[in-house]
Each structure stands twice: as C-alpha cells, then as structure tokens.
Amino acid sequence: MLTELLREDFKIKQILESEGNKATEDDKFNRVDILVENQTGELVIVEIQNTREADYFQRMLYGTAKVIVEHIAEGQPYSKVKKVYSVNIVYFDLGQGDDYVHHGTTTFIGIHSNHELELSEKQKELFKKTSVSDLYPEYYVIKTNRFNEVAKDTLDEWIYFLKTAEIKDEFTAKGLKAAGQKLDILKLAPADRKEYDRYMEAQRSDASFVETVNLEITTAVNEALKSRDEEIAENILRKGATIEFAAEITGLSIVEVQGIAARLGLDK
C-alpha cells in the first residue's frame, strides 16, 4: 500500500518497536500501529483509527515528533533527523473536506514575494533532498468513509480493500493479492483455521524433510568427489608429480595436497 500511496518503490527494511518509551513518569506513551524503516532510513508511521477522536490531528503531530526525537542519538547533528511519513487510515470523518485522501507537507512561503523558500545547492548535496518540504514530516489522511467504492487507480484499489475487506478480480495494486490471502485466512471459522494451520504445519514439515534429504545427498556427493580427487592426487604424487601440478589437476588446495604428500612421506 505504501508503494501505491507514495508513488515510489517503497521497500521495508525493518519493522520497528511501535511503542515509544516514557522519558519521565508524567510523559505520554507514543503508541502507533506500525512503525517501519525503508532502505534509505526514512520512517513511516501507519495508524488505523476506528473511533472518533476530536484531537486526532494533534495525535498525528505528537506521533511524528516523538518518533523523530527517539530516532536521533545524543551528539548527532540535526542533519541526521530522519524523514517521517505519517499515514493515517481513519474510519470517521476527520475534519471537513470533500476528498478521501489528503496529503500535508511543510513549506515556507514569502509573505511579501509569495515565493517558496528553497534549499541551497550545498544543502541539497548534504541532505540528498531537493526541497525544504522533503526534510519535514509528511502526513497522509485516508478517510475510508468518504470513498465511494469506485476504484479509479491502484491506490483506490487498496482503499476499496480497506473499506470493504474485499478484492475484485481485476485489481492489480502491488501487494493486494497477498493481503487478500491473509484476510481469507483470518476470516476462517475457528475449526477451519485449525485445520488450515495443521495443513500448513504438515507442508512445512515435508519441505524441511526434502531440504534435509537434499542437503545430505549434496554432502555425500561432495565428499565422494573430494575423495576421488584426493585419490588422484595421491596417485600422481607417487609418480613424481609436484604438489602444484597435483593441486591444479584435481582442484584441491595447495595445503590439502601438501597434507596428502606428508601422509605419504613424500617430500615435494
């Protein structure tokens, strides 16, 4: 879903601890549903909110601020502040607006010239970013209740799934089919779920057995080939071949051939 939302090939490096620690007793926990890091070190908060919260905008702000603070070490320069995306999937009408996907960024506009403040060339090189807004958190609000269930693009396909828990055959959004398979498993009745788990455990056991047998066969073959090479090396050493020549012919290492020569009492 993040790939479709951010319009780039988003790859998750790791899923991080999603509940921040308290700094003091009266501090507030930072609980988020999912916190992930991508391959470039950027962080993404994913929140799914079912119940109405009047102060949810402030919750979004607090979440990004807390994550930023928790992911910069003491003594590091501010250039190491991580980029954070806050993705909020809400099932109530947050704020007022006629769209079902809203995107928020931070920009600085001149109050006299109306021109946007830009990064210098040196800053672009330092931050590996092209604009000031790229340095600040970005917010996405997906209001599923506003979605009319008509999927016009791949992002809409994901939102359709988030709203209806269904996937149409013609949908092509990345990751959606896999999500549908997971959901189908979760929808199983308890007895069917147990049967499915038993079946998958049997499949894993069979796969493990096959892997073990293949490993044993490979090991046996390699040992047989090495034994053959050692026998060849022994024979040609007896006939006066040098250690270097024996190693070249058999593919054994110099050290291995030297061991064979020592065992035979041959000084080559």
The pairs formed by 245-253 with CB atoms below 8 angstroms and a separation of 24 or more are 252/226
In this predicted structure, what is the pLDDT of residue 221?
Answer: 87
Tokens of 234: 């022994």
Among residues 81, 61, 63, which one has the least CA distance to residue 71? 81
Closest of 119, 109, 89, 117 to residue 101, by C-alpha: 89
Residue given tokens 């970013």 in the structure block:
129
Q: Which residues contact 91 (CB under 8 A, 6 or more apart)?
A: 48, 49, 50, 144, 145
d(CA 135, CA 120): 13
What local confidence, expressed as pLDDT, does residue 21 receive? 54
Q: Say whether pTM exceeds 0.75.
A: no
Residue 223 identity (one-letter amino acid): E
Q: What is the reported pLDDT for 202? A: 77
Per-residue model confidence as pLDDT tens for the chain (268 residues): 888 998 888 778 777 665 655 555 555 555 568 888 888 889 999 998 888 888 999 999 999 999 999 888 878 999 899 999 999 999 988 888 889 999 999 999 999 999 999 999 999 999 999 999 999 999 999 999 999 999 999 999 999 999 998 888 899 999 888 888 887 777 768 887 777 677 677 777 778 878 888 888 888 888 888 889 888 888 888 888 888 888 888 888 888 888 888 888 876 4
- Please report the pLDDT score of residue 205 as a whole number: 78
Domain boundaries, the chain: 2-146, 194-264
